[in-house]
């Protein structure tokens, strides 16, 4: 999007351009036409005609793709790019200029009510998938709106709660995906969140919207508010917000004008925002007026393909799957006839059609397929009668396919879940069926992580699609009968119980504050660091074949590592393996997880074939946020590189040397003697001084003390106290200043 300056725009026009004309449109000012923004990200939710004041009225039919939670399970950026292209083409057809997505907030806790709309618990997987999606969408002349910026990880009290998070956690976990997508995909807009960050509303956070977003990352697009997120138009404009939505907002416009005339708001800020909005409008207009026809049949066929590639085979004991068409099948569960395929709230799409799993299974089976609902999605009905009929049907078939999941009312925008349980009636049904039928296949539909520990004991096979969009029914049947391979992998960890999750005690806001006390240890980082048993680990997913890994090699270059491994298909069917690369420093300078995802790649392998697979790992993805320099740092030294099929299924490992960053960490009076002696130049400079200080080790032993460890933890400033008057503070300051000079190691004189 080209940068534009509109110097002839009056203050009144610039202020008006900073708020919407309606719920979904910008103002038309001068020669600038209004453009439409509308919800995504798994479908175009375009309302026609008069809209209600909340924007929740019915919308025009559009292709409903797998939600972001499911799309991430494909681990396939090419698929994400194609999804963006399809959505962009439909948005253009509906004359939509900006599609509000993708949502890339990290899934801090499985109870997050909007987790279905986000990609993953991991920043790298999130960033790679979102970058591809944005590029695909914007290739069609429709702007993306990267959201929700930032640290919006819960729905309860979301319009005022403060996410209280330390600098390192903020950078490494919650801003990292935003930074990568903004730098590499250049989204046309970014949507700021409702919440506060360390006490300051995101819409009024100058550090977030100006210092980080624009000055550090070079963002040149429009910062738009989440709908209703602006509390103070003047404060927001001063902080770097460009477009306050929804509109109209004549009172806010007037306050902006008054603040400029009173000298409390810089006129340049208002004009710069207007210029950025004008550039966005012109970028949209440059790709034509839209209104082209949509091939709904072709898009539905693609939605089916996308759904197939998002399904995860969690368990497949006794090779229960794929099913043979000759088997007699009982389909159980109302979700088989009334599918759950998307989340609730602002992203809810009116689909062009919906594939029903029961109908699709019957189309592939060679024998009649019986069906019993087993339970009701909504309250009501004779639960005992429904269960008895379902158990009888299951007992009389060769295989029972049991559809379970969460009702839409249990997870939606606007509120968080209180647990991660399936409805008790559904679990009881599965247990009763397992008592009479050993061949049980469970198919899951849900937006957020579920506790599955009970189900793993009941069913030899479990298939997880999440929320697969309008083509999900066909995709499920296709995978069940082996017409398609299950190629998805989990983008989130499935814990044994809610009490094990990192934010279990600090997820809910207290007095409108949420403490991010688990720090960087989110998702698999937490479970792996604490060696907590999980039901299914991050990255897990089975295939209808098996793979062996061998001959791992790692080539270290200046700015990247090339990780290569042989993948052999040791089964009888063609399969797609997702090769995951994790890494961690052998001797970490700061607390870090045992391994972090640093790269991944997929490979299709025929039976008996060996394919050498190479994954490029950027050295920058080995970095951690070093608070002492307020920047990224790749620690020099040895790194263990793990290659495997999940964070818990490591198939091969190597230790390699990485040069890392050469700049030294600053030394201060608050640095410890251990930190000082770990710096070669400082150790040389202080060695004679420290050597002259007599330490009585025998006295330490008498007192039961480890003198060396105690001294290593002592701040440098304490040398003054314990020197007996031989040293003074200014002498230490001068010495440390010389040490901190670039390329000028100092010596104690």
Residues designated as active site: 226
Tokens, residue 11: 């203050």
- Residue 293, number of CB atoms within 10 A of its CB: 6
Residue among 464, 532, 539 nearest 497 (CA): 532
Q: What is the DSSP string of 576-613?
A: EEEEEEEEEETT-SS---S-EEEEEEEEEE-TT-EEEE
Q: What is the DSSP string of 402-423?
A: EEEE--GGGSBTTB--S--PPP
CA distance 490 to 425: 26
Alpha-helical segments (H) within 376-461: 383-395, 424-436, 453-456
Beta strands in 586-705 (DSSP E): 596-605, 610-618, 624-626, 631-633, 637-646, 649-658
Residue 611 makes CB contacts below 8 A (sequence gap 6+) with: 566, 567, 568, 603, 604, 605
Tokens, residue 696: 């009585």
In this structure, are residues 477 and 363 in contact, taking their beta carbons and an 8 Å threshold? yes
Strand (E) or helix (H) holding 5: none
Residue 318 DSSP one-character state: G
Q: What is the DSSP string of 464-525?
A: EEES--TTHHHHHHHHHTTSS------SS-EESSGGGSTTTTTSS-BTTEEE-TTTT--THH
Distance linking the first and last C-alpha atoms of the chain: 58
Phi, psi of 556 (to 5 degrees): -95, 120
Q: What angle do CA 127, 133, 136 make, to 5 degrees?
A: 140
Q: Is 704 left (phi over 0), alpha (psi -120 to 50) or beta?
A: left
Residue 173 DSSP one-character state: I
User: 656: burial class by Cβ within 10 Å (0-12, 13-18, 19+)?
Assistant: middle
Residue among 634, 687, 639 nearest 663 (CA): 634
CA distance 49 to 58: 11
Residue among 51, 28, 30, 50 nearest 97 (CA): 28
CA distance 493 to 107: 10
In this structure, are residues 99 and 149 in contact, taking their beta carbons and an 8 Å threshold? no
Cα within 13 Å of Cα(189), Cβ side: 32
Tokens, residue 445: 């539909």
Q: Strand 440-445 vs strand 399-405: parallel, antiparallel, or unpaired?
A: parallel
Cα within 13 Å of Cα(5), Cβ side: 2
Residue among 291, 283, 300 nearest 86 (CA): 300
């Amino acid at each position: 999007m080209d940068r534009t300056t509109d110097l002839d725009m009056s203050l009144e026009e610039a202020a008006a351009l900073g708020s919407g004309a309606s719920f979904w449109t910008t103002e038309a000012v001068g020669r600038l036409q209004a453009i439409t923004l509308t919800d995504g990200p798994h479908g175009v939710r375009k309302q026609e005609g008069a809209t209600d004041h909340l924007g929740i009225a019915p919308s025009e039919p559009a292709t409903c793709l797998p939600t972001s939670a499911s799309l991430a399970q494909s681990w396939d950026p090419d698929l994400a790019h194609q999804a963006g292209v399809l959505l962009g083409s439909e948005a253009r057809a509906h004359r939509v200029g900006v599609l509000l997505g993708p949502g890339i907030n990290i899934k801090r806790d499985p109870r997050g009510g909007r987790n279905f709309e986000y990609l993953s618990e991991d920043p790298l997987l999130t960033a790679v998938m979102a970058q591809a999606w944005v590029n695909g969408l914007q290739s069609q002349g429709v702007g993306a709106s990267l959201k929700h910026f930032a640290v919006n990880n819960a729905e309860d009290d979301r319009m005022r709660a403060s996410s209280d998070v330390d600098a390192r956690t903020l950078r490494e976990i919650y801003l990292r995906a935003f930074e990568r997508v903004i730098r590499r995909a250049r989204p046309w807009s970014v949507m700021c969140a409702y919440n506060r960050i360390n006490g300051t509303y995101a819409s009024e956070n100058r550090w977030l919207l100006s210092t980080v977003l624009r000055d550090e990352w070079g963002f040149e697009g429009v910062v738009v508010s989440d709908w209703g997120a602006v509390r103070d138009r003047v404060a927001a404009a001063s902080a770097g917000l460009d477009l306050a939505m929804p509109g109209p907002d004549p009172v806010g416009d007037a306050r902006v004008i008054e603040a400029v005339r009173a000298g409390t708001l810089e006129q340049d800020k208002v004009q710069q925002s207007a210029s950025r909005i004008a550039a966005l409008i012109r970028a949209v207009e440059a790709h034509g007026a839209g209104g082209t026809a949509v091939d709904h049949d072709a898009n539905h066929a693609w939605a089916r393909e996308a759904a197939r590639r998002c399904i995860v085979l969690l368990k497949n004991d006794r090779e229960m799957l794929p099913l043979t068409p000759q088997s007699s099948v009982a389909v159980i569960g109302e979700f088989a006839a009334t599918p759950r395929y998307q989340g609730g709230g602002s992203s809810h799409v009116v689909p062009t059609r919906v594939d029903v799993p029961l109908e699709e299974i019957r189309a592939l089976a060679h024998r009649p397929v019986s069906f019993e609902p087993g339970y009701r999605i909504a309250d009501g009905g004779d639960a005992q009668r429904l269960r008895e009929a379902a158990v009888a049907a299951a007992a009389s078939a060769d295989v029972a396919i049991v559809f379970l999941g969460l009702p839409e009312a249990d997870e939606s925008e606007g509120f968080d879940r209180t647990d991660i349980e399936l409805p008790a009636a559904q679990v009881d049904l599965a247990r009763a069926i397992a008592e009479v039928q050993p061949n049980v296949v469970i198919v899951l539909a849900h937006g957020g992580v579920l506790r599955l520990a009970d189900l793993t004991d009941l069913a030899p096979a479990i298939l997880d699609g999440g929320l697969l969009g309008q083509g999900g029914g066909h995709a499920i049947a296709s995978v069940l009968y082996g017409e398609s391979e299950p190629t998805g992998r989990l983008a989130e960890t499935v814990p044994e119980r809610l009490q094990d999750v990192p934010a279990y005690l600090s997820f809910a806001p207290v007095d409108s504050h949420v403490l991010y006390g688990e720090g960087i240890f989110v998702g698999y980082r937490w479970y792996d660091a604490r060696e907590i048993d999980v039901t299914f680990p991050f990255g897990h997913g089975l295939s209808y074949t098996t793979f062996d890994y061998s001959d791992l090699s790692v080539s270290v270059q200046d700015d990247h590592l090339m990780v290569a491994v042989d993948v052999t298909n040791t089964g009888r069917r063609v399969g797609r393996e997702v090769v995951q690369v994790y890494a961690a420093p052998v001797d970490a300078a700061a607390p870090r997880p045992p391994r972090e995802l640093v790269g991944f790649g997929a490979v299709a392998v025929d039976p008996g074939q060996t394919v050498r697979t190479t994954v490029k790992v950027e050295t920058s993805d080995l970095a951690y946020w070093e608070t002492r320099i307020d920047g990224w740092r790749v620690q020099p030294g040895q790194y263990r590189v793990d290659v495997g099929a999940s964070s818990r299924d490591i198939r091969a490992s190597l230790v390699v040397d990485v040069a890392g960053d050469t700049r030294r960490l600053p030394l201060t009076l608050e640095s410890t003697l251990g930190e000082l002696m770990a710096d070669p130049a400082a150790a040389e400079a202080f060695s004679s001084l420290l050597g002259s200080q007599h330490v009585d080790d025998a006295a330490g032993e008498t007192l039961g003390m480890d003198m060396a460890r105690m001294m290593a933890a002592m701040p440098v400033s304490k040398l003054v106290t314990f020197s007996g008057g031989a040293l003074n503070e200014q002498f230490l300051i001068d010495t440390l200043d010389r040490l901190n000079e670039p390329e000028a190691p100092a010596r104690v004189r």
